[in-house]
Structure 1
Amino acid sequence: MAINGDPAGFWSYTHRDDEIEDGRIKRLAKKIANEFEGITAEELDVFLDKKDIKWGDEWRKRIDNALTGSTFFMPIVTPRFFKSEECRREILTFAGHAKSLGLEELLLPILYFDVPQLKDPSPDDEVMTLVAQRQYEDWTKLRLEDEDSPEYRKAVNRLAARLVEILERTAEVEPPPVALTDDIDPEDEPGMLELMADAEAALPSWANSMEQFGATVREMGERVKLANEEMSASDARGGGFAGRLRITQSLAEDLKKPVDKLGQLGYQYSADLLAIDPGILGIIRLVETEGVPGGNEAQVVEFFNTIRTTAGQIRGMVSSVREFSGSLDGAASLSRSMRPLVKKMRASLQKVVDGQAVLDEWERRIDEVSRMTEGS
């Protein structure tokens, strides 16, 4: 059975999960690769160690070459996976490229440890929602089987066979039209300049959302600072724990509205960004593959600069968000009235941090394409 391209699988997992499994996660990857080769007589390159320069080089090459239609991304889903910023970045990056090419099946999560939230994911976590929407492989019971048992070997065979089926289906997939909205008319597909104009019109609204997000974070930071000053004054007066509790409960009440606003802004910012991500990547790919329409070099340069400028502005704001997130470490322990607020704040802050992965990928692809066009 011939496979188009050189099939490869990138495994995204936390090293700690593999350690507590005594290396079973890495061994599973190699067993699936061996089974795949047995079925197809084609080697499946498996990339496991993200610290290896070969992993990063091959990852970028595959994405930059439209995933070659034969590149799997297989996140090993555990509770720790969703806490790993690196893992979250990788799955969002791959998902955007795969969607822009109509190759979403190439994202194949493996549920390794049970994550109950996947059954009813909160919209506050787009990574968990993304995994829940995929037809993931459930390995939660199989991981308890002996690796040489018939049950385990049959499951490895089923998964390898599924990879083969996916590659056969995606071999002839044509990339969907580049679109920044869902109401595109296939008979009147917009040209590159129209697409770039639509993208430029959308970018300022993200910047505005982020500015409001940053302002809300600063407002909450000021209220927390004031509460800390009041606690110090209360301690000096001998107010004790009762004084601290009163101030903390008052702070929790003061933060309710800004926390709700933060959640709305974070959700809108993230939803808009992920919705338009495949379109932006498609535009960049059009410039790369078809070149710049004659006489429009200045408009393309301006478009790329707009994205770079917006990404740079938001990156600076993300630094402030990270700093504020760190300041919340002790807040939840002050009083039970603060715990739900801190949980909501962390979810909103994570959306902005996740979004930076999307913008970073735009910048990286733009730099690659710009170097290519400048050298031609």
Structure 2
Amino acid sequence: MNTAISQVNRLFVSYAHADNKLFDDAVKFLAEDIKGFYAAKTGNELSVFFDRESIGWGDDWRSQIDGELENAAIFMPVITMQYFNRPACRDELNAFNQSARRLNAQYLILPVVIAGANSIRADHPIPEVATIEALQFRNLEEAFLAGRGTAEWRRALSGLTDELIQLIFRAELAAPASTSSEHPDGAPDTGPDDDSDFLTSIGEMEHLTPVLTQEVEQVLIDLNVWSEVVKENSSRMRSGLTAQQMRGVSIAVADQLKRPSEKLHDSGVQLANTVEKADAVMSSILEQISQMPNREERDAFKRLVVGAQGPHDLREVVDNMADLLDSMVPVEVMSSPLRKALRPARIGITKIQDAVRVVDRWGKAL
């Protein structure tokens, strides 16, 4: 049997399924052609994964990310503005970004924008949009409009593959010279990789826990203020008003809602950001705990972090606020000022929901 000299690297593609449908499977073709260019340019294989199921991570997907990044896997979010409406997409982007930040490996995130590039800006109210801008996205709009097989498509994907190759090379140079998990005497190491790293992670979580508590309290205050303003003004948006009357009322209500909505946006985004940082720390802690030699020791260390499970108090409250926001949709449709005033609150509530969903994962892991 001949021995193959090629080697395998991994690419994780994150995308909204609606975008792949919109572009007639072009996201799938993007991955296929990058794989082909990669083989042609390096002689090596690129394993491409489209979702958590195909990569085999299952429910424990979050804990796998650090290891993937340490092994020079590339995370490629394929972006349109629909991407940011999908909770799974936001979760993947935030999880990879926070882990990469802790590992000083954000260069392993290679965002590709296929529609909506003009909307990607640093001051966008959706924090994930600002993240994509900060990660210096690659604009492939023209290539996607030209379509697969065109010169524009081939040039764009050839250039993207060149960049991907350089990123993998950079990561491999930065990797430790030895990944042996044995002690000098040859005995296997069944505990955490580095006790000092483990204690550092515990210290990080201890620092973040009171911050989370304070931010949850602020979110609850802002949710309450916002909901009271909505309830106080909802009766003003009654049926039977003329178009002119409805416009006057909606402008007045929008003015009342503007500041509470902005505050809810800011506190919701801040909470989600802190939870995402804590999630990267928690993932590292749980991964190191899983390597401990016996169950009693693992359980003892889990008890150290169980108190950091965070904003459970928010779950029912934020669900009620989301229902209240949904009840405003018929009125929003008829009022541009009201849509503008409610948009920050809609983003803030969404980010609080994201934070609760992340913390729920901790509970399952513990």
Deviation of residue 291 (structure 1)?
A: 7.2
How do residues 254-273 of structure 1 correspond to structure 2 at under 5 angstroms?
Answer: 254-273=256-275
How do residues 201-280 of structure 1 correspond to structure 2 at under 5 angstroms?
Answer: 201-231=207-237, 244=246, 247-280=249-282
Alignment partner, residue 352 of structure 1: 352
How do residues 290-301 of structure 1 correspond to structure 2 at under 5 angstroms?
Answer: 298=300, 300-301=301-302
Matching residue within 21, 31, 34 for 1:32: 34
Alignment partner, residue 48 of structure 2: 46
Q: Percent identity?
A: 22
Q: Deviations over 1:187-208 (max 9, x none)?
A: xx97644642452343233233
Deviation of residue 77 (structure 1)?
A: 1.0
Amino acid across the alignment from 2:216: M
Amino acid across the alignment from 1:84: R
How do residues 129-208 of structure 1 correspond to structure 2 at under 5 angstroms?
Answer: 129-173=130-174, 192-193=198-199, 195-208=201-214
Whether the 8 Å contact between 1:93 and 1:357 is mirrored in structure 2 is no
Q: Deviations over 1:255-313 (max 9, x none)?
A: 23322322332243234334454444333444345779x98964x333321133x1534
- Over 3 Å counting, the alpha-carbon distance change for 1:7 and 1:328 in structure 2 is farther
* Structure 2 runs not aligned, ≥5 long: 177-194
Alignment partner, residue 191 of structure 2: none
* Structure 1 runs not aligned, ≥5 long: 176-188, 371-376
> Hey, what's the Cα distance between the residues in 2 that align with 1:146 and 1:269?
41
- SS, match of residue 124 in structure 1: coil
Deviation of residue 81 (structure 1)?
A: 1.5
Alignment partner, residue 183 of structure 1: none
- Over 3 Å counting, the alpha-carbon distance change for 1:137 and 1:123 in structure 2 is closer
Amino acid across the alignment from 1:39: K
Is residue 23 from structure 1 mapped to residue 29 from structure 2 by the alignment?
Answer: no
Whether the 8 Å contact between 1:207 and 1:314 is mirrored in structure 2 is no
Deviates more, 1:271-280 or 1:99-108: 271-280
How do residues 361-376 of structure 1 correspond to structure 2 at under 5 angstroms?
Answer: 362-363=362-363, 367=365
Q: Deviations over 1:98-122 (max 9, x none)?
A: 222232222111111132122x332
Alignment partner, residue 188 of structure 2: none
Deviation of residue 34 (structure 1)?
A: 1.5
> Hey, what's the Cα distance between the residues in 2 that align with 1:335 and 1:280?
43
Amino acid across the alignment from 2:355: G
> Hey, what's the Cα distance between the residues in 2 that align with 1:145 and 1:248?
43
> Hey, what's the Cα distance between the residues in 2 that align with 1:173 and 1:283?
23
- Over 3 Å counting, the alpha-carbon distance change for 1:247 and 1:153 in structure 2 is closer
- Over 3 Å counting, the alpha-carbon distance change for 1:174 and 1:46 in structure 2 is closer
Whether the 8 Å contact between 1:103 and 1:173 is mirrored in structure 2 is no
Alignment partner, residue 343 of structure 1: 343
- Over 3 Å counting, the alpha-carbon distance change for 1:262 and 1:103 in structure 2 is same
- Over 3 Å counting, the alpha-carbon distance change for 1:212 and 1:12 in structure 2 is same
> Hey, what's the Cα distance between the residues in 2 that align with 1:289 and 1:130?
33
Deviates more, 1:86-95 or 1:273-282: 273-282
Alignment partner, residue 81 of structure 2: 79
Alpha carbon RMSD of aligned pairs, Å?
A: 3.5
- SS, match of residue 57 in structure 2: helix
Amino acid across the alignment from 2:98: G
Figure out how many residues of one structure are paired with residues of the other and give that number.
342
- SS, match of residue 36 in structure 2: helix
Whether the 8 Å contact between 1:62 and 1:68 is mirrored in structure 2 is no
- SS, match of residue 7 in structure 1: strand
> Hey, what's the Cα distance between the residues in 1 that align with 2:40 and 2:209?
48
Q: Deviations over 1:180-227 (max 9, x none)?
A: xxxxxxxxx976446424523432332332233234323332332333
Q: Deviations over 1:320-366 (max 9, x none)?
A: 343233233234235444232112212322332333454355456xx
